[in-house]
Amino acid sequence: MTKKEAQAQEQRRINAVVEEAMRDARGEMNAIISTSRLRSCSAMVYETPSFYILQSYRTIIAVIDKASGRLFDGLRTVYGYTATSAQHVSKFAHDYTTWSAERYTSR
């Protein structure tokens, strides 16, 4: 296996992990504990029993698992890339995780 093939295989694994976390978080949207704006942005943050969920432009683009502190960034998979949404994910990570938190980004 070449280095490029190994990198592609690892990214597919990461994409599957992100998709699973996003699916689990969407399943908890009926159990919202609190809702708040992300700073002064139009994006919203929902807290459920297990996740913090970032919604930008009506689309869930990232989630944080409260138990592990892991950030799952699904922006590129579910929405495509926009500079504004990427800034929302960055602010979300800064406000709701620690600097050492694991981050999984789909591509």
State whether residue 71 is helix, strand or coil. strand
Query: What is the reported pLDDT for 100?
Result: 74
Query: What is the reported pLDDT for 92?
Result: 96
* Residue extents of the structural domains in the chain: 3-105
Reply yes or no on whether the pLDDT at 99 is more than 90: no
Reply yes or no on whether the pLDDT at 84 is more than 80: yes
Alpha-carbon distance of 83 to 25, in angstroms, equals 24
| Residue 3 identity | K
Give 18-33 pLDDT, tens digit per residue: 999 999 999 999 999 9
48 Cβ contact list (under 8 Å, min separation 6): 25, 28, 29, 31, 32, 33
Give 41-58 pLDDT, tens digit per residue: 999 999 999 999 999 988
Query: What is the reported pLDDT for 37?
Result: 96
What are the backbone dihedrals phi and psi of residue 95, each rounded to the nearest 5 degrees, phi first?
Answer: -80, -25
